[in-house]
Amino acid sequence: MASTSSGSHIRIGIVTISDRASQGVYPDESGPAIVAVLREFIAGDWTPIARLVPDERHLIEAELCRLADDDGCCLVVTTGGTGPAPRDVTPEATAAVCDKLLPGFGELMRAVSLKSVPTAILSRQTAGIRGRCLIVNLPGKPKSIRECLEAVFPAIPYCIDLIGGPCITGTDCIQVFRPKV
């Protein structure tokens, strides 16, 4: 299961966390928006594994663990559930399943969003490492998703190198950075 045939060994989990989208009240636009941005940024083959879960902490934790441990994702990106409302528990679920947290992701995404809206400080998004998987929380809105991915994606391939994951190559649309050794 760790690697199949051709270049499809890069698996990326995309988890939409939303009570209403998971109940079919409205369609999930955020998950497809993430896939579209990652297709722009990542050169070569990769396989998205998309999931849709309600804002229940134990279900989010179970899904993150499944994608990291069983599906062999080197990257899991979440959308939704990072605000201050009672049902917003994505950062807590993320922290609970991670071995270590990377506070710089949340700091940078909030700083970038703050240029557009002062309510960016209400976002509690974080990132962390679980085994060989990087988990990153993105905001819920498609416009903010692109903005945040543009900010943090340049550091993601090197991060995945450091935790023993596959080599991700960036396209001309984004400036991926790897320090010279």
Sites of contact with its own copies (CB under 8 A): 83-86, 88-89, 91-92, 99-108, 110-111, 114, 117-124, 129, 134, 152, 154-155, 158-159, 162-164, 175, 177-179
C-alpha 67/C-alpha 26 separation (Å) is: 24
- SS3 category, 98: coil
Q: Minimal distance in Å, beta carbon 94 to its own copies?
A: 13
Q: Minimal distance in Å, beta carbon 70 to its own copies?
A: 20
Choice between 8 and 119, CB closer to its own copies: 119
Choice between 23 and 177, CB closer to its own copies: 177
Name residue 94's amino acid: T
C-alpha 101/C-alpha 139 separation (Å) is: 18
Choice between 50 and 56, CB closer to its own copies: 56
Choice between 38 and 89, CB closer to its own copies: 89
C-alpha 109/C-alpha 6 separation (Å) is: 34
Q: Minimal distance in Å, beta carbon 4 to its own copies?
A: 25
Q: Minimal distance in Å, beta carbon 5 to its own copies?
A: 29
DSSP 132-162: TEEEEEE-SSHHHHHHHHHHHGGGHHHHHHH
Choice between 43 and 85, CB closer to its own copies: 85
Partnered with residue 135 across adjacent β-strands are: 76, 128
Q: Minimal distance in Å, beta carbon 109 to its own copies?
A: 9
Contact 10, 34 (CB under 8 A): no
